[in-house]
Structure 1
Amino acid sequence: MGAHQRAKLECDNGMPAAQIGDVRWRKSGRSNPNGECVELADLPDGRVAMRNSRFPCGPALVYTKAEIAAFIQGAKDGDFDDLA
């Protein structure tokens, strides 16, 4: 997919991750070896997509950079420790 096509790509919450196109998905180095993790990708428009690594063609959730920053800071602060 060329840069011009990437710039026109519109990503919506719940769209199939495979339709997002040529992005680099990455996961945490703390992910377990069973593949039970999420993967994130920078989108050309500055947002961040998230998908379940076990279902790479399944739905993707799309967040703004500010939403991702708030989530990461909350995780660092221990806000979600009770969920693990």
Structure 2
Amino acid sequence: MYQAYNGMSATCLKEVSWLKSRASNPSGNCVELAQLPDGAIAVRNSRFPDGPALLYTRAEIDAFIQGAKDGDFDHMLL
């Protein structure tokens, strides 16, 4: 079993399934998420699948998704 930590190589997370949005484009510009066995959520950049994975709690991901739905980050897309 591995010890997950922030910034670890995503290649160390071989036992997880990475998911990306259906809205992702074919050139691979997307963020991918994976649920870890302990319930944490790993996040990686699909353009660098071997790069670092950032880990978040379920509550942190829920807060981020709710903020995105509520438009909290819309000003960053201009």
The one of 42, 46, 63 equivalent to 1:70 is 63
Q: 1:2-81 alignment to 2 at 5 Å?
A: 5=1, 9-81=2-74
What secondary structure is seen at the aligned counterpart in 2 of 1:66?
helix
What TM-score do the two structures reach when normalised by structure 1? 0.87
Using the aligned pairs only, state the percent identity: 64
Runs (4+) of structure 1 exceeding 2 A deviation are: none
Q: 2:70 & 2:3 partners in 1: Cα distance?
A: 33
State the superposition RMSD in angstroms.
0.8
Q: 1:67 & 1:30 partners in 2: Cα distance?
A: 22
What TM-score do the two structures reach when normalised by structure 2? 0.93
Task: Judging by fraction of residues, say which structure has more helix.
Answer: 1
Tell me how many residue pairs correspond in the alignment. 77
Q: 2:43 & 2:62 partners in 1: Cα distance?
A: 14
Q: Which amino acid aligns with 1:51?
A: R
